[in-house]
Structure 1
Amino acid sequence: MMHILALAAAGSAFLPSALGQWLWIDKDGRKVFSDRAPPISILQKDILKQPGSKATGFDAPVAPLETEPAPAMRAAAPVQSGFATLQLSGRDTELESRKKQAADLEMAQKQAEAKKLVSAKADNCERARKGYASLLSGVRISVANAKGEREFMDDAARLSESRRLRAIADSDCLNNPTWSPAALP
């Protein structure tokens, strides 16, 4: 029985330190929950909750800890912890690198899409040029009708198809260096 009481007393002695949670707003406006104190660059007004206080928001002021130096002294005091590489700029380099990677990926996708579009336009240009040339050659061209039967194009259908192919060639072949408007009759 005595061992159980001693164990309960020892466990309850560590309970307040385990519940010591800090809550503050960082430079980006995000709420940060931690069991460690905020960096020196965080202003006292941005600390919403600290261990030993009941304040959970802006409605109750946070009393400074007795061991914590005054804000003016905090700014003037050098960093004495083992974190000599700690950056006080308020910039999250990992977040910035992820944003840069996402932007690079998006740009690569846009470039791939643009290349695909250019390739499709070049293919359409070549097909339109060949189709237009075959229409102008005078060879009889057959097409399938709605029933699946083969019909030969009459002069009106040939003229309509040549205008359609010429419009496709005009729109898709403009940036093609091998095409000139004079290439089509």
Structure 2
Amino acid sequence: MKFTTLIISLLLLCTPAHAALNKWVDEKGAVHYSDTVPPDVNKANVVHSMTGKGQLEAPVSSSPKTVAEREVELKKSRKEKEDSAAKKEQEDKRTAERAHNCLVAQQNLRGLEEGGRVVTYDAKGERTFLDDATREQRISEARSAASSMCD
């Protein structure tokens, strides 16, 4: 009996927590908070705040997707992932090849600039040495190749 009385009294004490909260300003400019607004207060200055209300639920989609629609979406997402992976792999290969070509061009330029005699082989397979004018021409070609490869 005592337990039932306790539960009922606690439930009655909780009901004011669900009341509306009103904020209103009187003639003197003082702000008041109460559950009821006096009748002589201008209704334009009253701000109503509802307490005890839960958050709104997200709207449920009108029709769930069928298995076939989900399968199509899954295949589409897999295809996009595969395409992006292939594109990234191709781009990585291109970057690595470009870095290798840059290194080779720099080594060729360094070999021409360090001095010494440069040997080439003609169409018959015989060795010929480059003269200074041809060597300078090859150095300028190697510089332009290195600058274009290493950008």
Q: TM-score, normalised by structure 2?
A: 0.52
Q: Which runs of 5+ in 2 are unaligned?
A: 1-62
Q: What is the CA distance between 1:159 and its match in structure 2?
A: 2.1
Correspondence for 2:77 among 77, 80, 100:
100
The one-letter code sitting in structure 2 at the alignment partner of 1:135 is L
DSSP-derived class of the 1:151 partner: strand
Report what 2:104 is aligned to: 127
* Gap runs ≥5 in structure 1: 1-85, 175-185
SS of equivalent to 1:139: coil
Q: Distance in 1 between matches of 2:65 and 2:106?
A: 64
Select 1:171's aligned residue among 130, 133, 148. 148
87-96 vs 155-164, greater mean Cα deviation: 87-96
| C-alpha deviation, 1:147, in angstroms | 1.7
Q: Percent identity?
A: 30
Amino acid at match of 2:115: G
Aligned to 2:117: 140
Matched letter for residue 94 of structure 2: L
RMSD, matched Cα:
2.2
Residues matched between the structures, number? 89
Higher share of residues assigned helix:
2
Indicate the SS of the match to 2:117: coil
Q: Which has the larger radius of gyration?
A: 2
Counterpart pick for 1:87 among 64, 81, 86: 64
SS of the equivalent of 1:138 reads: coil
Partner of 2:8: none
C-alpha displacement of 1:169 = 1.3
When normalised by structure 1's length, the TM-score is 0.43
SS in 1 for 2:116: coil
